[in-house]
Amino acid sequence: MNDTAYAAFHRASIEAPEAFWGREAARIDWHVPYERVLAYEAPPFRQWFAGGHTNLCHNAVDRHLANRADQPALVYVSSETGAEQVYSYRMLYEEVARFAAILQAQGVKKGDRVLIYMPMLPEAVFAMLATVRLGAVHSVVFGGFASASLAARIEDAAPVVMVTADAGVRGSRVIPYKPLVDEALRLAGTRAPARVIVVNRGLAEAPMMKPGRDLDYATLRQAHLDDRAAVEWVESSHPSYILYTSGTTGKPKGVERDTGGYAVALAASMEYIYGGRPGECFFSTSDIGWVVGHSYIVYGPLIAGMSTLVYEGLPTRPDPGIWWQLVERYRVTVMFSAPTAVRVLRKQDPDWLHRHDLSSLRALFLAGEPLDEPTARWIADELGVPVIDNYWQTETGWPMLTLCRGVADLPVKYGSPGLPVYGYDVRLFDERTGEEVGPGQKGVIGVLPPLPPGCMSTVWRQDQRFLDTYFSLFPDRLVYSSFDWGIRDEDGYFTILGRTDDVINVAGHRLGTREIEEAVSSHGAIAEVAVVGVADTLKGQVPQAFAVVRDASVLADPASRARLEAEVMAQVAAQLGAIANPARVYFVSQLPKTRSGKVLRRSIQALAEGRDPGDLTTLDDPAGLDQIRQALSDVAASQP
C-alpha cells in the first residue's frame, strides 16, 4: 500500500467507525458478544462494544494457554539487583491467578480499587493483571512520586487494598518505599486502604509492618499456593484502570479507561503501528507507572501473544550497552523508548551499540516528548532500522499521531510524529475563532468525537470535569482538546509545538507546574511562587522556580539564601518526588503580573530561556519583570 492507501484506511475509520472497529473487535475474546459496536447517545461520552462482556486479564494471559503456554510471556531483568527470570505464559497465569486469589481473600471485588505503588518488579505486573482479572480497577502510581502525590491519589481512588514493596533501586541507590507509603497513608486518613500488601525484596531495613494492616506478600503467596481466582467477566465499558495525570490545576486527574475498547485498540495497534508478531519479544523501557508502561509493557504485548521485557535499571548501567545486550539475548524485534534516553546514550561511546547482534530488531519507537531531528537521525543511523515517533497522551492510551507502517510504507520525516492514526479525526483549530487552520498555520490540536476505542472514558467519578477540561475549547461545538499546539505541512504531517497549558515535560515525564508551586509555597518562608519549564538539551525541559520570600532579610546573606534554596528543594522532593524538583529556585521580591493579578508565566519562561518576554500589554508593573531579569543574571554571574 502507498500513502493514498493509508489515507483511504484512515478515512474509512472516520467515516464508518462501526464497520471499522467491528472488524478489529474480532482480535480479542468476547465472553458475551457485543450488541452494538458504538453506543453514542450522550456525546462526547461513548461506549465501545456495548453489551459485550470480556476481561483484560483473560485476553492477556489465559487466552494464550491453549497455544503458547510454554512460550516466554514476561522476561524480567534488573540490572540493579542482578535478577533475571523468564516466566512462560503458564507461569504467568499461575502467578496472576494466585495473586488474584490473594486479593480476593482480602475482600477485593468487581469495581473495587487496588492501588499499586511499586518499582519495576514482576509482582507489579502480576498485581495489575490480578486486579483486572477480578473486575477490580487498578491505579498504578509511579514509584518516583513521594508521599503527598501518593496521598492525593489514594484520597481520590479510595482503594480497598494497596500493593507496594520495601524499596526501589536506582543507580545502586536503595530508595525505601515503606516509610513514604506510611506517611501517605497517614495523610490519606479515612480514604486509606484497610490492607497493604508488601513485597519484601530484602533491600531496605526490614520495613515496619503495622499489625492488622500490612501483610507480607511471600507469606500470603505461600498460604495461597494452590489457590487460583477465576476470571470475572465484565461489561466492555467497565473501568479497567485509573491513571492520574497532571493538568492545569494542582489536583491530578484520574484518567479512566474501559475494558473492551482498550483491549481492541491495543490489539490493533500491535499490528498496524508496531508490527509486533506473536512469539516475538517486545521491549519497552518505560515504567509501569506511566501510560506507555500500561499499554506497551503490560497489556499490548501480552494481548498480542508476545513476550514483554520488563527492565529495572538505567540505560547506562552496568554499562551503556545494557539495552543492546538485552536486545541480542532475547531477540527483541520491537523496541519502545523515549527521546531523553536516546540523548543520554548519544553521549556515550557509540561502540556500545555495535558490540551486540541487533539483527532481530525491526524498529524503534520513541514517544512522550518531542523527538528532535539530530537525536532521531543519530539513533536511526546507528541501529540501521526505522525510528518512529509516536505522539500521544495518558488520555488517549495509544498513539494519536504516527506512521502506521503496518498499513502502508509511509516515509519518515524527522521532527514530525507523522499523520493522524486511524480512529482519530485530528484537526487544528484557531484558538480564538474556532476555525480550522490550513497547512503551515499553528493551531490547537483537537480531535472530533467520538474518541476511538482505548481513549479515556471520563475523569474518575467526575464526568463534569471531563467535559469542562477536555471539551470546552469552543462553546458551540464538541472538540477534544489535546492542550498541545501543532502545525501541519502540505502532506498532512504534524509537528508538535508545545503545550497550551501549564504542563511541562521533563525527560518525557508530564508534570503540572501548579503542583510544584503548591509544594514550594508550602515552605513557610515562601509567600508566592511561579514555576515554569525551561528548555534543557538533555531532558527537553526542567522546572525552575521563581519565589517571593516573606522576609527579604533572609536573602541578604548568600549562605542563608543557599540554605533556603536547598530547603525548598528538599520540600518538593519529599512531597512530590525528585523528578519534580526545580533545577533552581530564584528569589525575587515580586512576580510579573497582569493588571488582573495573573502571573505572566510565559514571559518568565521566555526570559529564563534567554528569549524576548513577548506581549507585555497586560503587564501591571515592569518591576516584576526586572526582578526576574536581575535574579537570572545574578545567578548566571555567580556560576563558575
| Residues contributing to the site for ligand AMP (CB under 6 A) | 245, 291, 367-371, 389-394, 417, 482, 484, 496, 499, 505, 510
CB of 574 to ligand AMP, least distance (A): 23
Nearer to ligand AMP, 103 or 298 (CB): 298
Which C-beta is closer to ligand AMP: that of 99 or that of 290? Answer: 290
- C-alpha 313/C-alpha 447 separation (Å) is 36
Nearest distance from residue 401's CB to ligand AMP, in Å? 7
Work out how close the CB of 284 gets to ligand AMP at its nearest, in angstroms, rounded to a whole number.
13
Start-to-end CA span in the chain (Å): 58
Cβ–Cβ < 8 Å for 520, 566:
no
Find the angle CA(406)-CA(270)-CA(322) to the nearest 5 degrees: 105
Closest CB 432 distance from ligand AMP, rounded Å: 21
d(CA 201, CA 431): 51
Least Å distance, CB 391 to ligand AMP, is 4
Complex with ligand AMP: residue 263 or 444, whichever CB lies closer: 444
Instruction: Please state, as a whole number, how many other Cβ atoms lie within 10 Å of the Cβ of residue 66.
Output: 8
Residues with Cβ within 8 Å of 122's Cβ and at least 6 positions away in sequence, in order, are 74, 76, 85, 87, 95, 310
Cβ atoms 162, 196 nearer than 8 A? yes
Place of cell 513476550: 307
Could you give the CA distance from residue 297 to residue 190 in angstroms, rounded to a whole number?
33
The phi and psi torsions of 521 (rounded to 5 degrees) equal: -80, -5
Do the Cβ atoms of 110 and 134 come closer than 8 Å?
yes
By beta-carbon proximity to ligand AMP, the closer residue of 470 and 546 is 470
Question: Is residue 64 within 8 Å of 305, Cβ to Cβ?
Answer: yes
Q: Min. distance of Cβ 22 from ligand AMP in angstroms? A: 29
Of 135 and 143, which has the nearer Cβ to ligand AMP? 143
- Residues 6+ positions from 223 with CB-CB distance below 8 Å: none
How far is 67 from 83, CA to CA, in rounded Å? Answer: 28
Shortest distance in whole angstroms from residue 504 CB to ligand AMP = 9
Phi and psi angles of residue 610, each rounded to the nearest 5 degrees, phi first? 75, 25
Cβ proximity to ligand AMP: between 327 and 444 the closer is: 444
Our CB check for ligand AMP shows the closer of 323 and 483 to be: 483
Of 295 and 571, CB closest to ligand AMP: 295
Least distance in Å: CB of 417 to ligand AMP?
Answer: 5
Least separation, in Å, of the C-beta of 495 and ligand AMP?
Answer: 9
Burial class from Cβ neighbours inside 10 Å (0-12, 13-18, 19+) for residue 9 reads middle
Query: Measured from the CB of residue 446, what is the shortest distance to ligand AMP in angstroms?
Result: 12
How many angstroms separate the CA atoms of 188 and 154, rounded? Answer: 6
Angle among Cα 435, 441, 442 to the nearest 5 degrees reads: 85
CA 548 to mean position of chain CA atoms: 32
User: Checking DSSP bridges between strand 72-78 and strand 387-390, what pairing results, if any?
Assistant: unpaired
Instruction: Kindly tell me which of 442 and 499 has the beta carbon lying closer to ligand AMP.
Output: 499
Query: Toward ligand AMP, which CB reaches closer, 76 or 422?
Result: 422
Alpha carbons 513 and 519: distance in angstroms, whole number: 10
